[in-house]
Amino acid sequence: MLQFDIEKPNEEIIPYLQDKINNLTKPKGSLGFLEELALQVGWIQQTLSPQLSNPHHIVFAGDHGIASEKVSLSPQEVTYQMLENFLKGGAGVNFLARQHHFKLMVVDGGVNRDLDLSDKRITHKKIRKSTRNYLYEAAMTEEEMNQAIESGAECVRQCHAEGCNVLAIGEMGITNTSSSSIWMHFLTSTSLKECTGAGSDHTGDILNHKYDVLSRAVTNYKGDSSPIDIMRYFGGYEMVMTVGAMLEAARLKMIILVDGFIMTNCMLMASKINKNVLHYAIYGHQGNEIGHHIALNYLKAKPILQLGFRLGEGTGALCAYPILESAIRMINEMSTFKDVQVTKYF
């Protein structure tokens, strides 16, 4: 598999960043989480004046063989239909990307449809039309997994070459909450039941059937339970591409805005490959999928927002961006007590 040399940012700059933040014209700590975010971005970028440049949002799309077991209320064709919606600009991710000035990249990683390869609106990285059904066999081969990792990394290199230093990632793939639940179960040793939510089914009627199918899939698995094998056996192409994208973004010292349940589990998987990826992660929100708060707690992650989202696509990450932008404006635009000769009032 492609190797990622990810550096932990040098900690020598942290006290200097903290001193600058503490001496802005405000009571110490009074801007709360903005101060933490500014410090993290300054630490990542190794500067007292961090910047957010040319933000990009990647949506990886792919289908899953487990969909044939009816573990989602939504039929598989919704993946392709929503991909078309992304291209027409009518999805949730589109209005948020427009609002916050993100360049949107839509990637076909394994959609179960023959797409027009001349359509330049799509980044064509299809590995196969849908993964295999992991109730009975591995979702992908080792070669396909490696290809997905490399494809995700390639997409990030393209964004970086365009001057992007802050990246949001989203996904589209019917039943990918099922794959995420199994990843989380193995990687955190949390019971499968606690990891399994209703996904797109807001009524929860499908939950018992979904849990039964996933339980049987876990029982049938005979691999070595290593993170790499769990990724290969139960993953989706769009999820593995996301893991590759996150690792490459961290290697390039980019800020990674993490979305909801699925993207948090992709960050969890990425951290099992190289733990230093976590230093570059900022968590956009805590969603309503049942296991999301457990995964966030496992990662010791502090999400910016809690808005009851469960859409995916990267919408929560995009919604959180203005808060991150405010943190950067704070550290760069506020005066210090010394600058304006205000007596410290704390």
Let me know: does 251 contact 273? Beta carbons within 8 Å: no
Residue type, 43: W
Nearest to 319 by CA among 302, 307, 332: 307
Tokens of 147: 């290809």
Residue 342: exposed, middle, or buried by beta-carbon count in 10 A (0-12, 13-18, 19+)? exposed
Range list of H helices, 31-125 = 32-45, 77-88, 92-99
Nearest to 175 by CA among 61, 67, 289: 67
The catalytic position among 11, 313, 325, 333 is 313
Let me know: does 281 contact 302? Beta carbons within 8 Å: no
Residue 220: exposed, middle, or buried by beta-carbon count in 10 A (0-12, 13-18, 19+)? exposed
According to DSSP, the residues that pair with 122 across neighbouring strands are 106
Does 144 qualify as catalytic in the annotation? no
Let me know: does 145 contact 257? Beta carbons within 8 Å: no
Please state, in angstroms and rounded to a whole number, the distance separating the CA atoms of residues 290 and 44. 31
Give the residue numbers marked as catalytic: 313
